[in-house]
Amino acid sequence: MWGARWDSSKNRPYFEGHERDDVVAKREEFVSYFTENKHLYYSKMINENDCFKLQVPKQIREKIRILISHDESTYRIELPPKRWLYPALATLFNKGKGRSIMVSAFLCQHSTSQLFELSDAEMRNAIKKYPELKEQDNFLNYYANSANAWIHPGKDNYFDNQVILNQFERLFKMLKFKRDFKDHEIEILVDNATTHTTIAYDVNLIGMSPGTGCQYETIE
């Protein structure tokens, strides 16, 4: 059908213009910032057992920095075993197709913490200051003593702008109670993808067979 073939789904890379001139320039600026200040961060090293561990930076006049990286991961539950493919032009997978579990987490570059979380005592102190931290979220499922969260499997569940802002607000309230981070500067590396919006179209409402119709008049 129009040159496509019915073939097995396989893992394929995502590509969205990563080699555009403006993207390359921003990437070089981004990398330069960290390489010029790498002496201020905890860094990976291999110990005598061939295991990675984080090396504490030397004490200098400037405050040591803790880098917290934020990103989401999608764990797919449903994936069609076959789909229509064009030779040498296979379509990319779409996060919104099929049921999946989404996890939004904060990874810390620190010698005592990997994923951001508070101890039980730190969490009790945080709740005294911010009682709303113990309330249940109607959308997110927060891990214990943490700002890391996941969403129940569902077709339309997604971390949109407001959900991400709520999660960051929770993180900012909790950060000041993390004893290991005292006297450090905190930098947060954020996944700023433009996809942090709710999907505009539901593919399940678009007829895929002749005569099934479509509930959308136009798609932009």
Provide, rounded to the nearest whole percent, the portion of the chain with pLDDT above 70: 59
φ, ψ (nearest 5 deg) of residue 62: -80, 150
pLDDT of residue 49: 67
The helix (run of H) or strand (run of E) holding residue 30 is: helix 21-36
Distance between CA atoms of residues 155 and 21, nearest Å: 36
CA distances (Å), origin 108, targets 43, 116, 181, 203: 12, 6, 10, 37
Q: What is the mean pLDDT of the chain?
A: 76
pLDDT of residue 205: 67
- Write down the pTM of the prediction: 0.66
Segments making up each domain of the chain, as ranges: 66-205
φ, ψ (nearest 5 deg) of residue 134: -90, -5
pLDDT of residue 148: 92
Low-confidence stretches of the chain (pLDDT < 70) are: 1-4, 9-18, 45-53, 59, 76-81, 83-100, 152-159, 192-214, 216-220
Q: Which DSSP letter does residue 86 get?
A: B
pLDDT digits (tens, 9 = 90+) for 120-143: 999 999 999 999 998 877 778 899
Q: Strands 185-189 and 65-76, how do they pair?
A: parallel
Largest separation between any pair of C-alpha atoms in the chain: 72
Q: Give 54's strand partners.
A: 44
Distance between CA atoms of residues 220 and 217, nearest Å: 10
